[in-house]
Amino acid sequence: MDGIDVNAPMVAMTFDDGPDVGGEITERILDTLEKYGCLATFFQLGDRAELQPDQMKRMADAGHEIGCHTYNHEHYGDEVTAADITDADDSIEEVCGVRPTAFRSPGGMTTDLIRETCANEDMALYYWSVDSRDWESRDAGSIINMVESYSFDGGIILLHNIYDSTAEAVETLVPWFLSEGYQLVTVSQMIQAKTGEPPIPGMQYYDYETWD
Catalytic residues: 16, 160
Q: Tell me whether strands 10-16 and 41-44 are parallel, antiparallel or unpaired.
A: parallel
Q: Is 112 exposed, middle or buried (0-12, 13-18, 19+ CB in 10 A)?
A: exposed
Angle between helices 53-62 and 24-36 (to 10 degrees): 10
Q: Compute the distance between CA of residue 108 and CA of residue 136 in angstroms, rounded to an integer.
A: 16
Half-sphere exposure of 67 (CA within 13 A, CB side): 28
The answer to whether 159 and 13 have CB atoms below 8 angstroms apart is: yes
The answer to whether 125 and 203 have CB atoms below 8 angstroms apart is: yes
Q: Return the HEC string of 128-162.
A: CCEECCHHHHCCHHHHHHHHHHHCCCCEEEEEECC
